[in-house]
Structure 1
Amino acid sequence: MVEGNFSKLADVVWHRADVLVWLDLPLWLVAWRITVRSLRQLAGLDTSAQARRLTWSRAFFGRRSLLRTAVRKYRHNRPRYARQVAETAALGVRVVRLRSGREADAWVAEQLGRR
């Protein structure tokens, strides 16, 4: 099993997989989750090391803020991911594309039920 964003290794790893799961969430949901997580961290509701280093500028307002970077990377990377996933599917790898948290939860529950 390989877990994480290894799109740079797609040519090496993906074609060996039995199943490729693409969590393809909409941009509005990604932005919402970053916003909520950042607000929780800034309010002191998360005491992780990452949360202690977060500032308003780093979260929202700086040129390299988390939110701005996420939007930029989403727009830049998503077309490439779609192409790589299609190429992998053409090689016979089963692709599961999950477009919401609800779809992901249902798919995981289904997989756990098969055990």
Structure 2
Amino acid sequence: MLYIVIGLTGTGKSSVAKMLALKNQAVILNVDEFRQALFSIYPSKNDQVFPEEWRNIPYKAIFLTARFLIKQNVNVVIDAGLYSKKLVSEARSIAKNSKVIQVICP
């Protein structure tokens, strides 16, 4: 099962992701944590700290990881801003053969 939790900064995405993960024995893939691990920096919540060409790298890493885990029958929660329709569509395509639940935090 894939859960996609999206929304603007400060809307409670991470709190919802944690609840979903606990209830459904899922692994949380958080874009901020991937960004920090990949670039070894701790930016403010403003993505403009990164060069534009780096912006999608954490998302690609999350999507690859999610695909791998889902193939292993591991439940996954993606916790990310997903700032474009393209990213949302790409996230949803990860689990073509399984259920996808999208949660939008307004």
* Same fold flag (TM > 0.5): no
RCO higher in structure (CA 8 A, sep ≥6): 2
More helix by proportion, 1 or 2? 1
More strand by proportion, 1 or 2? 2
TM-score normalized by structure 2? 0.32
TM-score normalized by structure 1? 0.30
